[in-house]
Amino acid sequence: MPVPIEKSRRLSIIDDDLMSREVLTLLGADAGFDVVAFTTGEAALERFGASGEPFPDVVLADMQMPGVAGDELAQRLRNACGAATRLLAMSGSPVAPERIPTFNGFLLKPFSMDDVIAKLDQVEVTQPDAADSENYSGALRRSIYDSFAKGMPREQLRKLYAMSIDDADARIELMRKALEAEDADAYRREAHSIKGGCGLVGAVELAGLASAMEELGPQTVDNIGPLKQFLVASARLRRILDALDQ
C-alpha cells in the first residue's frame, strides 16, 4: 500500500462524476489519506471558506465540471487555502500545461494513488509569507492596509477591519431578507453600501462582489449563491488579516 508523505494527510476530491468520487475516495482512504469529496467546485470553496475549517493538504480537481472549474477553480482554491495546499488537476483527456498554470500538476485518468504520491513528491511546498502583498492581491489592497497600519495603533487597526467586515456581513443578511420580500431596490442599496465601505479599506474582492450584485440585482436562477460566495470571501479576508496581524 502506498504511504503518502507525512505532511499530506487531508485529501479533497472535486468531481461531478459519482463513480469517480467513490473510487478515488476508496483509493485515497486505503492510501492513508483523510478524504473529503465534493460534487462541485462551489461546494468545495464554500467548505474551505468556513471559519475554523482545516485546509486540505492535497486537492484533486476534475477539469470538466459544470460551474466553477479549470484554472478559475484553481485560482480560487489557491486564494482560499493558501500556497501550502497542493492542487492537482485530473481529466480523462490530456490537458496542455498552459491551460492549468495555477495547478501544481496534472493526472490523466485512470491513475493510481501511487501516481498521485509520485506527483506530490515533485511538488515543492511553500508556506505563504504574510507580508507578501502578492499572496493577497485578490482580496486585500495592501497599499491601503499599510497606509492605515502606519497611522494607527494595531488594536485600532484590528477594530477598523473587524467593524468593516462585520458591517458587510450584516448587510448581506439584509440583502437575504430583501430577496425574501422581493425588494430589488433594497437589495441593490445594501450592495452599494457594501461596495463603498469595503472599497475604503481596500477589501477589493468584497467590493467587487458587491458591485456585481448591485449591477445585476437579484438573479432568477440563483438568488442565494452570490450571498454565500460573499460570506466565503469575507471569511477568507478575516484569515488574511489574522495572518498579517501575527
- Does 183 fall in a domain? yes
Reply yes or no on whether the pLDDT at 196 is more than 50. Answer: yes
Number of domains in the chain: 2
Q: What is the pLDDT of residue 7?
A: 45
- Does 84 fall in a domain? yes
Q: Of 93, 121, 149, which residue constitutes the final position of a domain?
A: 121
**C-alpha span between 48 and 81 (Å, rounded):** 7
The parent domain of residue 205 ranges over 133-244
State the DSSP code for 99.
Answer: G
225: CB partners within 8 A, 6+ apart = 42, 219
Reply yes or no on whether the pLDDT at 228 is more than 80. Answer: yes
Reply yes or no on whether the pLDDT at 53 is more than 60. Answer: yes
Q: What is the pLDDT of residue 54?
A: 78
Give the three-class secondary structure for 39: coil
Q: What is the pLDDT of residue 130?
A: 40
H/E element, 43 = helix 41-48
More confident residue, 4 or 72: 72
Reply yes or no on whether the pLDDT at 89 is more than 90. Answer: yes
Q: What is the pLDDT of residue 35?
A: 94
Reply yes or no on whether the pLDDT at 132 is more than 70. Answer: no
- Count of alpha carbons within 13 angstroms of residue 116, beta-carbon side: 33
**C-beta of residue 201 within 8 angstroms of C-beta of residue 148:** yes
More confident residue, 224 or 1: 224
* Long-range contacts formed by 123-132: CB under 8 A, 24+ apart: 123/86, 125/7, 125/84, 125/86, 126/83, 126/84, 127/83, 127/84, 128/82, 128/83, 128/84, 128/243, 130/243, 130/244, 130/246, 131/244
Q: Of 95, 121, 147, which residue constitutes the final position of a domain?
A: 121
Q: What is the pLDDT of residue 123?
A: 64
Reply yes or no on whether the pLDDT at 131 is more than 70. Answer: no
Q: Which of 90-104, 113-127, 174-188 has the highest mean pLDDT?
A: 174-188
The mean pLDDT value for 145-155 works out to 86
Q: Of 121, 141, 163, which residue constitutes the final position of a domain?
A: 121
Reply yes or no on whether the pLDDT at 177 is more than 90. Answer: yes
CATH classification of the domain holding 195: 1.20.120
